[in-house]
Structure 1
Amino acid sequence: MTQLIQQKLQLIEQMLKKHDLWSAQTPTTEQLSSTTPFAYDVMPFEQWLQFIFIPKIQFLIDSEQALPSSMSISPMAEHVWGQQAQLEPLIELLKATDTLFND
């Protein structure tokens, strides 16, 4: 399962880059320390995916720690990007990622 999750993480990164949502600038330590869900108070959702979600899941895989047993990030993606048809494949990818963690 970890291999499938890593593939999803790579696809998320590729899609963020494809749609120019990949940031070259790292958020500040304060931004990265946000306790608000999806850090929405200090950064856009795509930065949360890039700088918090992907690295955290990759760290858990690399250190052979338990992965979350449930996840629901696609509703936030739908909320943020739902009116942007070009981002529908990215939303669907996040739905598939949620499913992997929830099965």
Structure 2
Amino acid sequence: MTLDHRVRERLLAIEALLRETEHWQDSAPDSRAFASEQPFCLDTMEPLEWLQWVLIPRMHQLLESGTPLPQNFAVAPYYEMALDNAHPVRE
């Protein structure tokens, strides 16, 4: 199984999980939310919004175009912190 195939499977699994847990949104955030200069659009989107509306589509675009995937790219540390119930809510 190629790396591209594994990445596609993981993206589909993430989408399925978001849908299953009713975190998948039907409407995109306002266009201004996408103009954020913060990593993960931290100041304009919730973590799962960024996942749905930024990361998943961008990764699919890279795969479709045959563009090399990012190297040394890790979102897990952010999500481990952002989704931790003990972590203070962002203001």
Please report the TM-score for the alignment, with normalisation by the length of structure 1: 0.76
Moved over 4 A (4+): none
Determine which of 60, 77, 80 is the counterpart of 2:79: 77
> How far does the alpha carbon of each residue in 1:47-91 deviate from its partner, in whole angstroms, 9 at most, with x for none?
00000000001000101111101112111111121238xxxxxxx
Q: What is the distance in 1 between the residues matched to 2:35 and 2:59? A: 16
Ranges in structure 1 where 5+ consecutive residues have no aligned partner: 85-103
Unaligned runs of 5+ in 2: 87-91
TM-score by length of 2: 0.85
Determine what percentage of the aligned residue pairs are the same residue.
26
Which structure is richer in relative contact order (CA contacts within 8 A, separation 6 or more)?
1
Q: How many residues align?
A: 84
Equivalent residue letter for 2:72: S
For the pair shown, which has the larger CA radius of gyration, 1 or 2? 2
